[in-house]
Amino acid sequence: MAINPAIDVATEAPTAEPGSRWVSTLLTFCRRRPLGAIGAGIVVIMLLVAAFAPWLAPYDPVAVDFGAMLSPPGPKHWLGTDAFGRDVLSRLIYGSRTALLVGFGAALLGATAGAVLGVGSAYFGGKIDLYLQRLMDVLLCFPLIILALAIVAIMGNNLSNLILAITIPMIPRCALVIRSSALSIREMPYVDAARASGFTHRRIILRHMLPNVMAPYLIMLTAFLGQAILLEASLSFLGLGVQEPTAAWGLMLRGAAVEFAETAPWMAIFPGVAISLSVFAFNLFGDSLRDALDPKLRTL
Amino acid sequence: MARYIVKRFLLMIPTMIGVAALIFFMMRVVPGDIVELRMSGESGFASKEQIALERARFGLDRPLWRQFVEWMWGLARLDFGRSMWTGASIGSEIQLRFLLSLELAVLATSVAVLLAIPLGVIAALKQDTWVDYAVRIFSIAGIATPSFWLGIVLILGLLIIFKWLPPMVYTPPWVNPWQNLAQLIWPALAVGYRYSAVATRMTRSAMLEVLREDYIRTARAKGLWEKLILTRHALKNAMLPVLTVVGLEFAFLMGGLVVTEQVFNLNGLGLLFVQSVAHRDYTLTQALVLLVAAIFIIVNFLMDLMYAWLDPRIRY
C-alpha cells in the first residue's frame, strides 16, 4: 500500500528541478539503493500524515463513543474502534505525531550530545578522555530500558521527560562510535594547522572536527530514530510513557487491547503494524545511508 | 597475555563500583521511599513518629555516605542484604526468577543462532540478488517489530487457530521439561526473531568482508571445494564479530525483557525489577542492576579474551 507512492516520489523527482545537484544526488541514491528509497518514501508519507493529521483523520482521536464500542473494521470505522469506541484509524494517524516527535527529538538530542562528547573526548584526550570513557562504560552497562525506566520514575512522565529518558541511554552508544572516528581526525594535518593558527578549542571542535564526523553522526541518527520509536512504544505499553488519552501506538496496545485480543484483534494488530512499518522504514533508509556513506562501519 | 588478562580483569572493578554508585544515588533521587509507600498503602495516614521509626529500622535516617559505605562493605562480603519489601534475602528473591530469565535467554539465543547463521551466510553468498534482498528485508523487519507485540500476535494466533493457550504457570525444566518448553518456546520465538535479525546482519557483513580476503582467493585458486572454503576458511573467520553480537544480546536478554515478560505473564528478572522500582525497594533494585551489569561486564570480558585467543593476529 505504502510502497507504490514511494516509487512515484523517485520517478517524479527529475521533473521538479532539472540540473540541480540535490536532485541528481537523490536520483543516484534511489537507483543504487532501491530499498533505501522505499524506506525514505514511507518516512515522507509518515511525515505528511503527521503534519496533516487533523484533515486526514475521520474522527476525533480522543472522542469517546459508547455506542460504537469494540466495533470491527467496517465502512464506518475502517480499522474498527477500541474499548471506548474511539476510532482506531484516527488514533493511529494522530499517534504518528507522538512517535515522530519522540523519535526525532530523542534521536537528534542523543546523537548530537553523543557527537559532542565523543569529539571532545577524542580532541582533549588524556584525563578527560579517560574519565569520560569510564563514565560511558558505566552507562553502557545499564540495559537501555532499565535506564529509561529509572529516569521516568525519577522525573515523572510527561512527553519531554520521556524524550529525555530515551535520549540518555543513546548518548554513550553514539559517543563511543563518534570518538573512534574523531581519534583519527585529530591526527589530520588540518587540525594541527588550526591549532598552530591559535584557534580556540571550541572553534576547532565545532568547525574543524564535527563536520568531519558527519557520516557516523548521520548513521547513528537514523539508527536511533527507529530505536527511539520502539523504546517509546515499549515504555508507553508499560504505562511509563505517554499517558491516556493521548494517541500513541504503544499505549494503544496496552490494557484493553490485550484483554479483548481474542474478540477484537484489530485493536492489538494495527498499532503494532504501524510501529513495525515506521521503524522498518527508518531502518531501511538508515541502512542504505550507511552503505552509501561509510561501508566499513558496522552498526546494529 | 597473562598481563593483559589481569589488567582487563582489574578494569572491571571500577566499572562495577561506578554502576553501584550510580544506581545507589539514582534510587535516592527518586521521589518517595518505601516507608512512605507502605504506610500510605496500609492505613492511609501514619504519624510522623511511626514513619521516622520505620525509616530508622531500614537505616534510611543515616547520612547517605554512611548508607553507601555500609552497602559497599556488605557487597565486598557478598552480602546483598534483605529485600525491604518482603524481608526475604535478596538471594532467595532472585534465584528462581534468575533461572527463568536464564532459560529464556538460552532458548532465545538458540532460536537466533539457528536462524541467523544460515540466513546470513546465504545472503552474503548471493549478495545483491533477490535472495539477499529477501533476507535483508526479513532481518530489518525483525529489528523493527517490537517483540512484545510479536508476542501478543503469537498468543493470539495460537488462541484463534489452535484454540490453545501456552501454560501460564512456570514449571521448572527438571519437574516437567515438556510443560516448561510449551510455555517458554513462544516468548523465546518472539524475542529470538529480533535477536536473530541483529545476528543475521552481522553474519552477512562479516562474511562479505571475509569473502574478499586474499586467502579465500588463494583457496579458490588452488581448486579447493567451495564447501570446504566456506566452512573452514570463511565461516570460521567471520564468526568472531557474530559471537560478540550474540554475547552482548545474551547479556541484554538477562535483564532487558521487561515488556515481553509482561505479555507472557512470566515472573522473571525484568518483572522483579519493575516491581522493585515501583516499591522503592532500594536493596533489591540495587542488587538487580548490579547483577545485570555484572553479566554484561563479564560477557564483555569473556568476549575480549575469546578474541585474543581465537584471532592470532591480536596479541597484547
The nearest CA of chain A is from the CA of B201 a distance in Å of 8
Helix (H) or strand (E) holding A55: helix A53-56
Question: Which of B67, B294, B265, B286 lies closest to B169 in space, CA to CA?
Answer: B265
Let me know: does A138 contact B15? Beta carbons within 8 Å: yes
Distance of alpha carbon B192 from the chain centroid: 12
Candidate from B31, B155, B198 with C-beta closest to A300: B198
Kindly determine whether residue B18 and residue A275, on different chains, have CB atoms separated by under 8 Å: no
For all residues of chain A together, what is the average pLDDT? 82
Give the chain A residue whose CA is nearest to the CA of B263.
A258
Helix/strand/coil percentages in chain A, nearest 5: 75, 0, 25
Residue A60 contacts by C-beta under 8 Å, 6 or more apart in sequence? Answer: A90
Give the chain A residue whose CA is nearest to the CA of B141.
A280
Average pLDDT, stretch A249-255?
84
The nearest CA of chain B is from the CA of A164 a distance in Å of 15
Give the chain A residue whose CA is nearest to the CA of B258.
A145
Q: Classify B61 as helix, strand or coil.
A: coil
Let me know: does B102 contact B254? Beta carbons within 8 Å: yes
Count A/B contacts: CB-CB distance under 8 Å: 135
* Sole residue written with cell 562474511: B207
Q: Express each pLDDT in A140-185 by its tens digit.
A: 887 777 777 777 777 777 888 889 888 988 899 889 888 888 888 8
Residue-level pLDDT at B42: 57
Kindly determine whether residue B29 and residue A154, on different chains, have CB atoms separated by under 8 Å: yes
Residues of chain B in contact with residue A143, where contact means CB-CB under 8 angstroms, are 252, 255-256, 292, 296
Kindly determine whether residue A149 and residue B258, on different chains, have CB atoms separated by under 8 Å: yes
Round to whole Å and give the CA distance between B181 and A31.
Answer: 47
Kindly determine whether residue A272 and residue B149, on different chains, have CB atoms separated by under 8 Å: yes
Q: Highest-confidence range of B17-21, B53-57, B63-67, B114-118, by mean pLDDT?
A: B114-118
Give the chain B residue whose CA is nearest to the CA of A272.
B149
Q: Express each pLDDT in B92-140 by its tens digit.
A: 888 878 888 888 999 999 999 999 999 999 998 888 889 988 998 899 8
| Distances B14 to A137, A138, B20, B52, B268 between C-alpha atoms, Å | 10, 9, 10, 35, 28
Residues of chain B in contact with residue A287, where contact means CB-CB under 8 angstroms, are 136, 140
Distance of alpha carbon B281 from the chain centroid: 22
Round to whole Å and give the CA distance between A154 and B313.
Answer: 47
Candidate from B140, B263, B273 with C-beta closest to A283: B140
This model of the complex carries an ipTM of 0.82
Q: Classify B164 as helix, strand or coil.
A: coil
* Sole residue written with cell 569473556: B302
Q: Classify A71 as helix, strand or coil.
A: coil
Sign of torsion, CA A133 A139 A144 A148? Answer: negative
The nearest CA of chain A is from the CA of B60 a distance in Å of 18
Hey, is the C-beta of A280 within 8 angstroms of any chain B C-beta?
yes
- Choose between B2 and A229: higher pLDDT: A229
Candidate from A139, A145, A280 with C-beta closest to B144: A280
- Choose between A69 and A194: higher pLDDT: A194
The nearest CA of chain B is from the CA of A52 a distance in Å of 25
Residue-level pLDDT at B316: 55
Kindly determine whether residue B30 and residue A154, on different chains, have CB atoms separated by under 8 Å: yes
Let me know: does A167 contact A110? Beta carbons within 8 Å: yes
Residues of chain B in contact with residue A234, where contact means CB-CB under 8 angstroms, are 146, 148, 258-259
Residue-level pLDDT at B191: 92
Round to whole Å and give the CA distance between A252 and A270.
Answer: 9
Residue A299 pLDDT level (bands cut at 50, 70, 90): very low
Q: Quick one: residue A85, left, alpha or beta (phi over 0 = left, psi -120 to 50 = alpha)?
A: left
pLDDT more than 70, % of chain A: 90
Candidate from A141, A269, A272 with C-beta closest to B297: A141
Hey, is the C-beta of A196 within 8 angstroms of any chain B C-beta?
no
Give the chain B residue whose CA is nearest to the CA of A297.
B205
Residue A84 contacts by C-beta under 8 Å, 6 or more apart in sequence? Answer: A64, A65, A66, A69
Give the chain B residue whose CA is nearest to the CA of A262.
B156
Round to whole Å and give the CA distance between B181 and A266.
Answer: 29
| Grid cell in block for residue A45 | 508519507
Question: Which amino acid makes up residue A285?
Answer: F
Q: Classify A80 as helix, strand or coil.
A: coil
Kindly determine whether residue A145 and residue B262, on different chains, have CB atoms separated by under 8 Å: no
Kindly determine whether residue B30 and residue A230, on different chains, have CB atoms separated by under 8 Å: no
pLDDT at A274 over 90: yes
Candidate from B22, B140, B252 with C-beta closest to A284: B140
Residue A10 pLDDT level (bands cut at 50, 70, 90): very low
Hey, is the C-beta of A127 within 8 angstroms of any chain B C-beta?
no
Let me know: does B311 contact B240? Beta carbons within 8 Å: yes
Q: Express each pLDDT in A125-151 by its tens digit.
A: 888 888 888 888 888 887 777 777 777
| Distances A7 to A12, A39, A106, A222, A227 between C-alpha atoms, Å | 9, 10, 29, 21, 25
| Grid cell in block for residue B260 | 515481553
Total-model pTM: 0.84
Candidate from A145, A268, A298 with C-beta closest to B152: A268
| Grid cell in block for residue B196 | 536473530
Hey, is the C-beta of B269 within 8 angstroms of any chain A C-beta?
no
pLDDT at A205 over 90: no
Hey, is the C-beta of A130 within 8 angstroms of any chain B C-beta?
no
Residue-level pLDDT at B164: 81
Kindly determine whether residue A141 and residue B296, on different chains, have CB atoms separated by under 8 Å: yes
Let me know: does A139 contact A169? Beta carbons within 8 Å: yes
Round to whole Å and give the CA distance between B155 and A59.
Answer: 31
pLDDT at A11 over 50: no
